[in-house]
Amino acid sequence: MPIPTLQAYRSTLTSAKADVLAYFVFEDSDIFKRQIREIKRQFKDLSTPLSATTFSGKEQETQVLYPGHSASRKLLLVGLGKTEKLSLEKLRRGASAAAKSARHLKAPVLAIFEPAPQAVMKARPHFEENIWENIATALGEGSVLAAYKFDKYLTSSNGSKKTTRLKSVSVITEDTQRLKDISLGIAYAQLVCEGTYLARDLENAPGNEIFPESLARRAAEAGKKSRFQVTILNERKIKQLGMGGLLGVSQGSAKPPRFIIMEHNRSVKRKGTIVLVGKGVTFDSGGISIKPAAGMAEMKMDMSGAAAVIGTMQVAARMKLPVHLVGLIPATENLLGGAALKPGDILTHHNGKTSEVDNTDAEGRLILADALSYASKYKPDLVIDLATLTGACVVALGHYATGMMGTDEDTMKRLRESGERTYERVWQLPMFEEYEKLVKSDVADVKNVGGRWAGAITAAMFLKKFIGEYKWVHLDIAGTAIMEEAQDYIPKGGSGVGVRLLIDLLRHWKKA
Ligand code: BES
Ligand code: ZN
Ligand code: ZN
């Protein structure tokens, strides 16, 4: 869907011009009293009486006021709670509440007034440097991400009407110095939100719109628009390269597989090379080891890893990030046509290693194996793969943390920090050597399932067999990419998780 534009400008509260002007109120009694007094002073003719009994500044609390004399038609008070608990995430949620109210009020133009500097200074210790820049990013992210809706297939004929679209969000400040920082933060938010919207659009698109060839086409379009290189390998080339996992999984489908290669800054290698690998199963029926019917439709989002990688490539290219970034996507459907992969089949992967297919529903690791092996060709400093890989990861961590495993503790620490900053949080699971025997096979180098327990970990143990001489981190986004219910600024469906996390890691990246 079209994304609202973000901007920043300097204005006073009463002269800010918007359909809805959001004003954050804090719960601390000294600040609260001052803020309410200030609003009553500036807006003398409020249609609704304002008192602590109707509004107290609690988190997520909102109240709409109709000022007579103001450039904005509606004034929206948004509670941010106590300053001692203020964080970037609270600001995202506050901005999200503002965007949602704007939607209910059918208001396309939203302005968000900067949080009171007095309150921000009180909360100063919770923030890193560039405080106003980060605050602006959080406000931009919260409002724009909350405004997302996958409605391209809704027509006016079925009664489920499209809601008013948010067209623009402005962050308003009274201070020229802060305006500079806020503008920077807003520009960053615009880019990462565009990447996240792209990822969400790809995830939410049905399987008859996004299949390997069309996914590749969408990657190529993004590359053309944002100036990164895209090469698409067809089935013949995939065969030549010996990618037996990707071929094996695709053989039950009428649609051919694709291997998508994206590259940013091909000639800038001095700051290091990072390869991102995204699982691109455009629909996962389970194959011959078929999944139950209930909830199977969600498996159109089994390409969320791929979506995150494409979104990240787009943002990295537009930001001109000074790293050599490569994105690899093995793309296929997992269906059960007459030629489908069967339990017991043995596949030979890109690096010559073999795997025994015990369950055709553990297909993600089979295609990632080829991509992880192929990644060696770039002599990368780091490889990160993202995959909706296991239901076991959702059992372990639910929807609030991505499962993280890997071979490099330092990168995992950095990812954890990026996760805290962006609130796309990750949580490490162990890769103790004892788990390795669970994926041993009698007839091949490795088996694609590890039995009943520790399913997220045994999947990673399988992948580890195929990595090259590089640092590697695996992110299992099965729980965080596919939302069963809306959550603050993440609507139900595809979350676009990974884009903000990876871009945060990359912008702080320094070659070791
Ligand atoms: N795509 C699924 C994992 C998944 C499940 C993602 C639920 C999102 C939500 C994956 O291909 C799969 O089916 N994994 C199996 C592995 C098992 C057969 C070892 C699983 O998790 O059940
Ligand atoms: Zn599966
Ligand atoms: Zn899958």
Asked whether residue 209 carries a pLDDT value surpassing 70, the answer given is yes
Residue 47: DSSP 8-state: S
Say what the pLDDT of residue 162 is: 67
In the structure, what pLDDT confidence band is assigned to residue 160 with cuts at 50, 70 and 90? low
Span 389-403, mean pLDDT? 98
CB under 5 Å of ion ligand 2: residues: 284, 361, 363
Q: What is the pLDDT of residue 371?
A: 99
- 190 vs 71, more confident: 190
Catalytic residue among 291, 342, 353, 507: 291
pLDDT at 483 over 70: yes
Give percent above pLDDT 70 in the chain.
Answer: 98
pLDDT at 52 over 90: no
Residue nearest to atom 7 of ligand 1 (CA): 391
Ligand 2 centroid from CA 252, angstroms: 13
Q: 96, 62, 101, 65: which is closest to 81 by C-alpha?
A: 62
Neighbouring residues of 475: CB distance < 8 A, sequence distance ≥ 6: 305, 384, 385, 386, 387, 402, 403, 404, 415, 426, 498
End-to-end CA distance of the chain: 39
Q: Answer yes or no: is pLDDT of 156 > 90.
A: no
Residue 510 has pLDDT above 90, yes or no: no
DSSP 55: -
Could you give the CA distance from residue 310 to residue 313 in angstroms, rounded to a whole number? Answer: 5
Question: Is the predicted pLDDT of residue 68 greater than 90, yes or no?
Answer: no
C-alpha–C-alpha distance, residues 344 and 342, integer Å: 6
Lowest-pLDDT choice from 284-293, 412-421, 503-512: 503-512
pLDDT of residue 336: 98
The number of the ligand 1 atom at minimal distance from the alpha carbon of 286 is: 13
Residue 161 has pLDDT above 70, yes or no: no
- The 3-state DSSP class for residue 289 equals coil
- The residue behind tokens 């208001």 is 107
Of the ligands numbered here, which is closest to the C-alpha atom of 481?
1
What SS3 state is found at 141?
helix
Number of the ligand closest to the Cα of 296? 1
Q: Rounded to an integer, what distance in angstroms lies between the CA atom of residue 460 and that of residue 440?
A: 13
pLDDT at 270: 83
pLDDT digits (tens, 9 = 90+) for 84-93: 999 999 999 9
What per-residue confidence (pLDDT) applies to 317?
A: 98
- For residue 103, the one-letter residue type is R
Taking the CA atoms of residue 215, residue 221, residue 222 and residue 225 in that order, the dihedral angle to the nearest 10 degrees is: 180
Q: Tell me, what's the pLDDT at 467?
A: 98
Give the residue-averaged pLDDT of 348-362: 98
279 is catalytic: no
496 Cβ partners below 8 Å, 6+ apart? 145, 195, 196, 197, 198, 199, 200, 203, 307, 308, 311
pLDDT for the residue 268: 86
Tell me the CA–centroid distance for residue 72 and ligand 2, in Å: 51
Helix, strand, coil percentages for the chain (3-state, nearest 5):
40, 20, 40
Closest ligand 1 atom to Cα of 392: 21
The alpha carbon dihedral of 94, 95, 97, 101 has a sign of positive
Mean per-residue pLDDT over the chain, rounded:
96
What atom in ligand 1 is closest to the CA of residue 302? 1
Mean pLDDT over 356-374 rounds to: 99
Per residue in 424-462, pLDDT (tens digit) is 999 999 999 999 999 999 999 999 999 999 999 999 999
How many angstroms is it from 309 CA to the middle of ligand 1?
Answer: 20
Q: What is the mean pLDDT of residues 339-360?
A: 98
For the CA of 364, the nearest atom of ligand 1:
11
Contact 218, 210 (CB under 8 A): yes
Q: What percent of the chain has pLDDT over 90?
A: 91
Is the distance from the beta carbon of residue 455 to the nearest atom of ligand 1 less than 6 Å?
A: yes
Residue 217 bears catalytic tag = no
Question: 458 CB less than 6 Å from ligand 1?
Answer: no
Residue 89 and residue 374: Cα distance in Å, rounded? 38
Centroid of ligand 1 to alpha carbon of 153 (angstroms): 28
- Judge whether 38 and 92 are in contact, CB under 8 Å: no
Q: How far, in Å, CA of 47 to CA of 67, rounded?
A: 6
Q: What is the rounded average pLDDT of the residues 385-403?
A: 98
Q: How much is the pLDDT for 159?
A: 62
CB of residue 278 inside a 6 A radius of ligand 1:
no
The response to whether residue 139 sits with its C-beta less than 6 Å from ligand 1 reads no
Say what the pLDDT of residue 158 is: 65
- Residue 232 pLDDT > 90: yes
> Is the C-alpha dihedral spanning 21, 22, 25, 31 positive or negative?
negative
Q: Which atom of ligand 1 is nearest to the CA of 393?
A: 21
Q: 367 C-alpha to center of ligand 1: Å?
A: 14
CA of 20 to the centre of ligand 2 (A): 45
User: Closest ligand 1 atom to the C-alpha of 363?
Assistant: 11
Best CA proximity match to 78, nearest among 21, 118, 124, 134: 21
281-290 average pLDDT score: 98
Task: Report the b/e string of 96-113 with b at 16+ CB within 10 A.
Answer: bbbbbbbbebebbbbbbb
290: Cβ below 6 Å to ligand 1?
no
CA dist 284 and 207 (Å) reads 10
Confidence band, pLDDT 50/70/90 cuts, at residue 44? confident
Q: Is 332 near ligand 1, meaning CB less than 6 Å away?
A: no
Ligand 1 pocket check for 363: Cβ under 6 Å: yes
Q: Which of 92, 365, 447, 471 is catalytic?
A: 365
Give the Cα separation of 475 and 385 in Å (integer): 6
- Please tell me the predicted confidence (pLDDT) of residue 70: 81
Ligand 1 atom at minimum distance from 450 CA: 19
CB of 368 shorter than 6 A to ligand 1: no
What count of residues does the chain have? 512
Most informative mutation of 301, 336, 356, 390 for ligand 1 (most atoms within 8 A of CB): 390
Radius of gyration of the chain (CA): 24
Which residue from 361, 394, 463, 495 has its CB within 8 A of the most atoms of ligand 1, so it is best to mutate? 361
Q: What angle do CA 373, 374, 380 make, to 5 degrees?
A: 90
pLDDT at 234 over 80: yes
348 lines ligand 1 (CB under 6 A): no
> What is this structure's pTM?
0.98
Q: How far apart are CA 34 and CA 430, in angstroms?
A: 50
CA 321 – CA 506 distance, rounded (Å): 8
Q: For the chain, give every domain's residue range.
A: 5-200, 221-508
More confident residue, 72 or 39: 39
Res 334: pLDDT: 99
Tell me the average pLDDT across 183-212: 98
Q: Is the CB of 403 under 6 A from ligand 1?
A: no
**What is the pLDDT averaged over residues 165-180?**
97
Q: Options 3.30.70.20, 3.40.630.10, 3.40.50.1580, 3.30.70.3420; which CATH number does 221-508 get?
A: 3.40.630.10
CB distance 362 to ligand 1 below 6 Å: yes
CATH superfamily name and code, 5-200 = Leucine Aminopeptidase, subunit E, domain 1 (3.40.220.10)
Amino acid at 291: K
Report whether residue 358 contacts ligand 1, using a CB cutoff of 6 Å.
Answer: no
